[in-house]
Amino acid sequence: MQETIDDVQAEWLPIMLQGSPSEIYVFNCETLHFEYANKAAIDNLQYSLHELREMSPASIVQGISPEAYEELLADLRNGSVASISVNTVHVRRDGTAYPIESRLFFLAASAGPVIIAIGNDVSSRDESDKALRASESRLSAMVSNTPGLVYQFRLGRDGCFSFPYLSEGCEALLGIAAEELHDDPLHFLDLILPEDRTSFMESMNASTREMSAWNWEGRIRIEKWNDIKWINLRATPRALDGHDVLWEGIMTNITASKLEQEEIIRSRAQLAELSAHINTVKEQERAHIAREIHDDLGGNLTAIKMALALLTRRLPADPALLEKADYVEQLVDRTIETVHRIASDLRPGVLDFGLVAAIDWQTREFEKQCGIPCEFSSNKREIELDPNQSAALFRIFQEALTNIAKHAQATHVNVQLVHTERFVRLEIVDNGRGIQAADRTKPKSFGIRGMVERSIAMGGSLSVSTSQKGGTIVAINVPLVDSSAISTS
């Protein structure tokens, strides 16, 4: 029975040798010439079995002389060890080389002692190792040159978190060593100002729940330097086994940009305040000049007209003198009309009758002067606003009508004034060519900019858009400071 099993195993052996992906060599222990090589060895070396039988292992191993190779096998040949492992480089027939890891065994066969070498080509593994080392080197270079802290943040299902990885930028950004934060991750929460911790936790929970990018800005206090910094945290999450979440990202110091942003906001607020003050002073000055023109200049012209009428009645019946007197009287009348027009432009007296009456009057004046039909409607007969707000809203309305007359090429304008409990809304809609984005940003285009500044100065907002049917919609919303101030119907 044992002989039958041995016979079957003997039949398996050639198939196993030829089918093995490892390179298998058998060489004579005395002559060190190859006696056998399997298919994997022949294919990789590019030599035939006949050619290999004329060669020794030293002839295919790079950089090892026959003497050195014999010395390498000395312990194996004298029986001191059962096997040895060697790492060498084999040279193919075409001159190319590849690294190979081999294990050599001594076998005292009946036909004579042999050495069996079983080796594996590790060139692919070595290339992978090189590529991995190169990739790690590049990553290390990028991380070390990144202006911030590269990190990994892990949140466990129990709510505990840790920092599996922290780059060298940890201490420069947070004022604590990476090892300290590894040992005590909760110390990071202690750095965050109390008023910003809630937003930190909310953003982390939202990223966990939606598995979306984590983007948070907040302030930290660095006790080491007695300093407060703004930091930005950006990271991408991925789920781990056990329902843990791991974020990989970067923290950066955004203090400078935050301070610049605050300075810009502060400067804009100051500019808006200055603009509002200038507009208020300008309106007051206009009102003052309008009163001076109307009262003094208008009064003087009226007195001149009365005196001229008296003189005309006492002139002799000279046609030339009467004609001259009539011309002077007409000149005085035109001057009085001009004075009234200038005074009205400076401070429309119709504003004294309320905002609704003023806008209604300006609508009719626009239709009369430009020949463009203009409809006006209001949901209240009277609307009470602060005098400065009324003046600003009326000026915005005048500028909107001026823009329509100059640029819109409209044939119809619709104006609506709406009063609610929270705001007053004025909407001007034309059916013209519409406004393009470039029109709002072109140099020396101050009309819309002035309208926006006026709306901001009175605490309101202004929007300019294109309607679905073409044309432009200008909408101004003015919030009511006291919602109890309700206009009468």
Task: Evaluate whether 100 touches 121 at the Cβ level (below 8 Å).
Answer: yes
- Reading the block at residue 310, the tokens are 């008296």
Sign of CA dihedral 99, 101, 106, 109: negative
* 189 dihedral zone (left: phi>0; alpha: psi -120 to 50; beta): alpha
Q: Is the pLDDT of residue 486 over 50?
A: no
Q: How confident is the model at residue 10 (pLDDT cuts 50, 70, 90)?
A: low
**How does 415-453 read in b/e, with b if 16+ C-beta sit within 10 Å?**
bebebeeeebbbbbbbbbebbeeebeeeeeeeebeebbb
Q: Is residue 285 part of a domain?
A: yes
Task: Evaluate whether 167 touches 143 at the Cβ level (below 8 Å).
Answer: yes
Q: Are residues 11 and 115 in the same domain?
A: yes
Q: Are residues 341 and 358 in the same domain?
A: no
Number of domain units in the chain: 4
Summarised one tens digit per residue, pLDDT across range 299-343 is 888 888 888 888 888 878 788 888 888 888 888 888 888 887 787
Q: Are residues 336 and 368 in the same domain?
A: no
Compute the half-sphere exposure of residue 127: CA atoms within 13 Å on the CB side of its CA.
Answer: 5
- The model carries a pTM of 0.47
Q: How confident is the model at residue 248 (pLDDT cuts 50, 70, 90)?
A: very high
Rounded mean pLDDT, 240-247: 87
For the beta carbon of residue 137, count every other beta carbon within 10 angstroms: 10
Predicted pLDDT of residue 16: 64
Provide the CATH number for the domain around residue 468: 3.30.565.10
Task: Evaluate whether 270 touches 278 at the Cβ level (below 8 Å).
Answer: no
Q: Are residues 102 and 216 in the same domain?
A: no
Q: Are residues 121 and 12 in the same domain?
A: yes
Q: Is the pLDDT of residue 271 over 90?
A: no
Predicted pLDDT of residue 329: 85
Please provide the average confidence, as pLDDT, over all residues in the chain.
Answer: 84
Predicted pLDDT of residue 445: 62
Q: Which residues pair with 20 in a beta bridge?
A: none
Q: Are residues 368 and 410 in the same domain?
A: yes
Q: What is the DSSP string of 11-60?
A: HHHHHHHHH-SSEEEEEETTT--EEEE-HHHHHHH---HHHHTT--GGGT
Q: How far apart are the first and last CA of the chain?
A: 119
Q: Are residues 296 and 213 in the same domain?
A: no
List the domain range (segments joined by +) for residue 82. Answer: 2-126
Summarised one tens digit per residue, pLDDT across range 176-203 is 999 999 999 999 999 999 999 999 999 9
What is the residue type of 262? E
Summarised one tens digit per residue, pLDDT across range 198-238 is 999 999 999 999 999 999 999 999 988 888 999 999 999 99
Q: Are residues 418 and 438 in the same domain?
A: yes
Tell me the C-alpha distance between 234 and 70, whole Å: 62
Q: Are residues 160 and 225 in the same domain?
A: yes
Q: Is the pLDDT of residue 30 over 90?
A: no
Q: Are residues 101 and 220 in the same domain?
A: no
Q: Is the pLDDT of residue 485 over 60?
A: no
Q: Is the pLDDT of residue 69 over 90?
A: no
Contacts of 28 by beta carbon, 8 Å cutoff, 6+ apart: 35, 112, 114
Q: Is the pLDDT of residue 426 over 50?
A: yes
Predicted pLDDT of residue 320: 84
3-state helix, strand, coil in the chain (%, to 5): 50, 25, 25
Summarised one tens digit per residue, pLDDT across range 367-424 is 998 999 999 999 988 888 888 888 888 888 988 998 899 888 899 999 999 998 888 9
Q: Looking at beta carbons, which pairs linking 54-61 to residues 24 or more positions away fall under 8 Å?
A: 56/27, 56/31, 56/32, 57/25, 57/27, 57/32, 57/117, 58/32, 60/90, 60/91, 61/88, 61/89, 61/90, 61/91
Q: Is residue 264 part of a domain?
A: no
Task: Evaluate whether 132 touches 236 at the Cβ level (below 8 Å).
Answer: no
Measuring CA to CA, which residue among 96, 100, 107 is closest to residue 13? 107
Element housing 120 (H / E): strand 112-121
Q: Is residue 139 part of a domain?
A: no
Residue with tokens 């044939």, as numbered in its chain: 411
Q: Is the pLDDT of residue 488 over 50?
A: no
Predicted pLDDT of residue 449: 79
Q: What are the E-state strand segments in 340-444?
A: 374-378, 413-419, 423-430
Q: Are residues 355 and 325 in the same domain?
A: no
Among 285, 318, 346, the domain-final residue is 346
**Percent of the chain clearing pLDDT 70 (strictly above):** 89
| Helix orientation angle between 255-292 and 447-457, rounded to the nearest 10 degrees | 100
Q: Is the pLDDT of residue 465 over 50?
A: yes
Predicted pLDDT of residue 296: 77
Among 96, 126, 156, the domain-final residue is 126
Tell me the C-alpha distance between 312 and 304, whole Å: 12
Rounded mean pLDDT, 452-460: 83
Task: Evaluate whether 106 touches 27 at the Cβ level (below 8 Å).
Answer: no
Q: Is residue 260 part of a domain?
A: no
Q: Looking at beta carbons, which pairs linking 195-204 to residues 24 or more positions away fall under 8 Å?
A: 204/155
Summarised one tens digit per residue, pLDDT across range 82-118 is 889 989 999 999 999 999 999 999 888 777 788 899 9
Q: Are residues 361 and 475 in the same domain?
A: yes
Predicted pLDDT of residue 312: 82
Q: Is residue 131 part of a domain?
A: no
Q: Is residue 174 part of a domain?
A: yes
Q: Is the pLDDT of residue 56 over 60?
A: yes
DSSP tag of 486: P
Q: What is the DSSP string of 343-362?
A: HHHHS-GGGGG-HHHHHHHH
Tell me the C-alpha distance between 489 and 419, whole Å: 11
